[in-house]
Structure 1
Amino acid sequence: MSLNQVSEQRCFAGRQVRFSHQSQVLNCEMQFSVFLPPQAEHQRVPALYWLSGLTCTDENFSAKAGAQRVAAELGMALVIPDTSPRGEGVADDPVGAYDFGLGAGFYVNATEAPYARHYQMYDYIVQELPVLLEAELPLTADRAISGHSMGGHGALVIGLRNSNRYRSISAFSPICHPSDCPWGIKALTGYLGADRTRWQQYDAALLLAAQGSKLPILVDQGLADQFYPLQLRTETLLAAAEQSQAPAEIRLQPGYDHSYYFIASFIEQHLRFHARHLGLSAA
């Protein structure tokens, strides 16, 4: 087995487990967390891949979102990767800022030195991690994808570009149009270079406007979010969904901010949304 178990806690009759492994795609050791519901003790179960936001690790969602109770009821695994490569020799932001480098991989395949050697988070999420987990853990190939902020950007982009690999997409407070917001411009320039045509493949608003979506989409955005609208640009996703007539429900929630209190308030609705499209009878 190529997974090394780091820790395990019993949770709602299931298992909250943290693993490490040597990533061939990222050229470093990675850690990730998985919640295996009780049903996984005797059968394979589908999985929701959760992509976290800036500064997060694989532990933020598992500790703060309160998702395990409903996932246990539904029979859904939760796969929670880290947000960037880590370790000695992995390049960081030159000034150590929070919005680039470590903890801020943006779920892209970097092409620029020195980041290209390690920052291949798109391929890690789409290819390496599912192959590994479906070989080593009791998971089916039925997958959904979700995330928050930078991870919401990642979930939308990955789901839109890989409709054959997922059943549904959701996001909380996603960075919708990274080609035209401060966080995104910094990250895409650093990882991909100054040619903006190379950014388009990682811009959810542009992708949705151009191609629509074969998958159902659910998005929640808090109207009291301190990063809305400047960084998140939710209006661009609304316009793209309308233009392409995509099967997207984009909800603006009064009074909610960017925190995990917001995620915890609506995570059950997102899990049940995904469960319906994963064909789970308990949904």
Structure 2
Amino acid sequence: MTAERIEHRACFGGWQDVYRHTSTVLGCEMTVGVYLPPQAEHGPCPVLYWLSGLTCTEQNFITKAGAQRYAAEHGIILVAPDTSPRGDGVADADSYDLGKGAGFYLNATREPWAKHYRMYDYIADELPEWVQANLPASDVRAISGHSMGGHGALTIALKNPGRYRSVSAFSPIVAPSQVPWGQKAFTAYLGEDPAAWAQYDATALVAEAKERLPMLVDQGGADEFLDNQLRPQLLQAACDAAGHPLELRIQPGYDHSYYFISSFIGEHIAHHAKAMR
């Protein structure tokens, strides 16, 4: 799987790149942001995958989070893919929370979504294969994300024991089966079957988790979506019931934006760096 590098910028002694490649799984061209720390010039480095939220592309994280500084300090490659399939032939909806920009990191089973919306397979399998084939990456990896991407990071980590050294999230949709964003997307992509929903719901998956992966979640206390869409207390309750470790931090005054993410991204990268040593 080859790729075309379409952006290449010096950044904290390394390189912030963007690649375009053909995804067989999604049936379209995809773009992915890649930060190579200076240590990558001397040998393979561990990889932190970042999954962004609703309406985002790969650009939001690489331009707003300020993560490159910390990745350079710890010698970590950052891989930030787009949030959905794209292109003229890809199904879409007249809504910010469904269709393009809203892939929800699952494999859709209903039409017209099933043909292209297979973001779970893309993130869990195809993208790591591309990373291994094209980047100076070791086989050590971790995963993180924000909002819809926080949901994706938590569920993909929980569904793939042994794959990641650690997982973290900012403002994740922890119980999509119980909140409007998730219910809308799951009904469209997966149908009405609660069992199909549960396989992409962190609060359901944690009950059957086969490993105790270090899990860090930061949530802004002034987040406008806190009570209606995010409800981190549901993840805390599920982890308590399952005996699964969770460090849940409510950060007073912070909202849902990248101002929040940029304030704590250094601590998240340190969390992953410790686990990936």
Bin for the TM-score computed over the shorter chain: over 0.9
How far apart are residue 207 of structure 1 and its match?
1.0
How far apart are residue 141 of structure 1 and its match?
1.0
Secondary structure of the 2:61 match is helix
Matching of residues 1-283 of structure 1 within 5 Å: 2-93=2-93, 96-211=94-209, 213-279=211-277
TM-score, normalised relative to structure 1: 0.96
Secondary structure of the 2:227 match is coil
2:21 counterpart letter in structure 1 = H
Q: CA deviation digits over 1:194-226, x for unaligned, max 9?
A: 111111010001111343742110000011000
In the alignment, is the contact (CA less than 8 A) between 2:8 and 2:17 conserved in 1? Answer: yes
In the alignment, is the contact (CA less than 8 A) between 2:161 and 2:210 conserved in 1? Answer: no
How far apart are residue 101 of structure 1 and its match?
0.3
1:142 counterpart letter in structure 2 = V
Distance 2:161 2:213 in 1: 6
How far apart are residue 121 of structure 1 and its match?
0.1
In the alignment, is the contact (CA less than 8 A) between 2:76 and 2:273 conserved in 1? Answer: yes
1:6 counterpart letter in structure 2 = I
Secondary structure of the 2:79 match is strand
How far apart are residue 82 of structure 1 and its match?
0.2
Aligned-residue CA RMSD in angstroms? 0.9
2:60 counterpart letter in structure 1 = N
Q: CA deviation digits over 1:26-49, x for unaligned, max 9?
A: 000000100000000110000100
1:43 counterpart letter in structure 2 = G
Distance 1:212 1:172 in 2: 23
Secondary structure of the 2:110 match is coil
Q: CA deviation digits over 1:47-104, x for unaligned, max 9?
A: 10000000000010000000001100100000000000000110001xx110000000
2:178 counterpart letter in structure 1 = D
Which ranges of structure 2 fall in alignment gaps of 5 or more residues? Answer: none
In the alignment, is the contact (CA less than 8 A) between 1:38 and 1:72 conserved in 2? Answer: yes
Q: Identity percentage over the alignment?
A: 59
1:237 counterpart letter in structure 2 = L
Distance 1:251 1:43 in 2: 35
Secondary structure of the 1:50 match is strand
Distance 2:67 2:25 in 1: 29
What is the number of equivalent residue pairs in this alignment?
A: 277
1:200 counterpart letter in structure 2 = A
Distance 2:137 2:209 in 1: 30
How far apart are residue 20 of structure 1 and its match?
0.3
In the alignment, is the contact (CA less than 8 A) between 1:212 and 1:246 conserved in 2? Answer: no
